[in-house]
Amino acid sequence: MEPVHYFALSVLVLAGLLFFPLSSLVWALSVRRLERRTGSPLGEEALRGQRARARFIAVLLAVAFSFLYNLHLLGAGHA
């Protein structure tokens, strides 16, 4: 396997594994913050909006962390 393909596959696998727990964490933190700010529980529509927002943020964070981690682990000279 080519080193570039191995690096890309490593980034995608780690990002995929990080996505679900990271998404849940971001969602829980944002819902708690919004409930504390408004002083009441959120409705179903607001929860869906927060879940979509958390997923978007989780994708960005997971890919960025995965790329930087694999770059450090595999080294820039191997690509």
Whats the size of the chain, residue-wise?
A: 79
pLDDT in tens, 10-52: 999 999 999 999 999 999 999 999 999 999 999 999 999 999 9
d(CA 12, CA 20): 13
Tokens of 32: 């708690």
66 contacts: CB under 8 Å, gap ≥ 6: 10, 11, 12, 14, 15, 18
| Domain span including residue 27 | 3-78
How many domains, in total, are found in the chain? 1
The answer to whether the CB of 2 falls within 8 A of the CB of 57 is: no
Half-sphere exposure of residue 59: CA atoms within 13 angstroms, side-chain side = 5
pTM value is: 0.85
